[in-house]
Structure 1
Amino acid sequence: MKVIIVEDEPLALQRIKSIIHENKSGWEIVSTAQSIKELLAIFDKGLNFDLMICDIHLADGLSFKAFKGRKIDFPIIFITAYDQYALQSFDHNCIDYVLKPIQEERLLKAFEKLENLVSNDLPTGFNEEIIEELLSKYASKNYKKRFLTKIGNKIRFVPVEDVAYFYAEGGVTYLVETGSPKKYIVDISLSDLESNLLDPMKFYRINRSMIIHLDSLVEMKPYLNGRLMLYMSSPCESDIVVARERVNEFKNWINQ
């Protein structure tokens, strides 16, 4: 199996190489790329390979751009931090995806999936239509830049970068600013905030009642029953805890 690795983080690149060398002695890494420019150069050379392991976010942009307009008749395993657009689309349109930080067991499972497809002579190509879909989503998505809030009789705007977290209580959604204990009412549900208005690379819903801003996270510690306790730049009246079923995904999101 001849492999190309597209990854701009040196540690992640070395991690992938080590996993291949230690577990797949018959495989050969024929080339690596760290940018869209380098990946395009590999395509232009007409290099022969059987598998591409490719990070989504490269130093000079989205790796999808290098695939645009090309026939993708080779299998791809994508490497990504938590990314709702990618994960929703990849379920049916690539061999597999592996979240960062890269776990050896997870990457080996992706390799096993590919080998099973090959041994059974099943299709391994990538659906080209998904490239246009992903590029369109990334280009067209506009996130909320500021929020109209109320506190008492006062109404004010809060820029999204000044938000520490949102939480819901008694059917009301509150916004808490960075570095302040004050809470403001916002007339938007957590579900709408999560699904449509907040950048998923910066905001994460840690449980049913709270969404936090990554930039306002100060520290986290293990908590009861496999959960995580978070400490934010703004105080909270109750403990800020990541739900147990979200802990692994949250850790991957933190490592984006």
Structure 2
Amino acid sequence: MKILVVEDEPLTFQRIKSLIKELRPSWEIVMHAQTITELEGVFHSELSFDLILCDIHLADGISFSALKGKNILQPIIFITAFDQYALNSFEHNCLDYVLKPIDKSRLERAFEKAERYISKETESTFTQGIIDQIIQEYSQKQFKRRFLAKSGSKLRFVNIEDVACFYVENGLTYMEETNSNRKAIVDFSLFELESGLLDPKVFYRINRSMIINIEHLIEMKPYLNGRLLLSLCTLNDRQIIVARERVNEFKSWINQ
């Protein structure tokens, strides 16, 4: 199967590429588009592909703008950090809607759906029942309300509203509380936290080692090499930096 990947984040593209190699080694990425302009160029070319894996927020706009009005025959699996576009995606030949960070088992199910769809060689149809299922999956998800924190030999509960950030240090995951320099070890990796435990409308992974709470963001300003420097409502004086490859998505996320 020939794949068109539309993704402007290098790390996400590499993860998609590695998952395709692992889950479907016979599949081939024939084109990688990173902008609306490049995507429109693909549709005006004679390039042949069977499936589209498409991000929604790109560096120069929303991918829907390049898809609108096109007679696209290939099914599209949208891969995005934002759940609010789920219904709109079905106006653009959407076959599935996968939230970032990409979970391997979730992408596997999307690939299986694509194989069934393409083997049938029929036009996609989406009933109200399927749409209702999408709404229920992405709008009624329950997230953690408190964490059991370890401080030395003591255990205590910390409400999620009081958490400024989660970060990794020396192989351990820490939770840092707002308006203080108190931190505690939590028994989850950052991947586990962002894969379903934390509300993605409130928490965002700004780099490989930190997830922040938007409610406790005080200030952000430009930093070296296209990155962003953030100030959180804590008493810790560490530098909190948004990785360059995440800056565009972070700006879009923060304006949701």
Contact 1:143 1:197 in 2 (8 A): yes
1:141 aligns with: 141
Q: Distance in 2 between matches of 1:246 and 1:165?
A: 17
Distance 1:116 1:216, change over 3 A: same
- 1:153 Cα shift? 1.9
Q: Distance in 1 between matches of 2:183 and 2:68?
A: 50
1:198 aligns with 2:198: yes
Q: Deviations over 1:179-217 (max 9, x none)?
A: 011111111111100102000000000000000000000
- 1:139 Cα shift? 5.0
- What aligned pairs does 1:1-256 form with structure 2 within 5 A after superposition? 99=57, 106=61, 110-117=64-71, 127-128=125-126, 130-256=130-256
Contact 1:97 1:110 in 2 (8 A): no
Gap runs ≥5 in structure 2: 1-50, 76-90, 95-124
**Count of residue pairs the alignment pairs up:** 159
Q: Distance in 2 between matches of 1:125 and 1:245?
A: 28
- 1:140 Cα shift? 4.4
Q: Distance in 2 between matches of 1:171 and 1:216?
A: 25
- 1:113 Cα shift? 2.9
Letter in 1 for 2:218: V
- 1:136 Cα shift? 2.2
Gap runs ≥5 in structure 1: 1-90
Q: Distance in 2 between matches of 1:196 and 1:124?
A: 26
Q: Distance in 2 between matches of 1:181 and 1:233?
A: 10
Letter in 2 for 1:229: L
Q: Deviations over 1:84-116 (max 9, x none)?
A: xxxxxxx979xx8865xx99x535x64443333
Q: TM-score, normalised by structure 2?
A: 0.55
Q: Secondary structure at the match of 1:117?
A: coil
Contact 1:117 1:124 in 2 (8 A): no
- Structure 1 stretches of 4+ moved >4 Å: 96-99, 122-127
Q: Distance in 1 between matches of 2:92 and 2:180?
A: 52
Letter in 1 for 2:240: I
Q: Distance in 2 between matches of 1:135 and 1:167?
A: 31
Q: Deviations over 1:145-173 (max 9, x none)?
A: 10000112221100001100010011111
Q: Distance in 2 between matches of 1:228 and 1:117?
A: 39
Q: Distance in 2 between matches of 1:196 and 1:111?
A: 29
Cα RMSD for the two superposed structures: 3.1
Q: Secondary structure at the match of 2:221?
A: strand
Q: Secondary structure at the match of 1:192?
A: helix
- 1:125 Cα shift? 5.8
Identity over the aligned pairs, expressed in percent? Answer: 49
Q: Distance in 2 between matches of 1:244 and 1:195?
A: 22
Q: Distance in 1 between matches of 2:93 and 2:194?
A: 32
Q: Distance in 2 between matches of 1:112 and 1:244?
A: 25
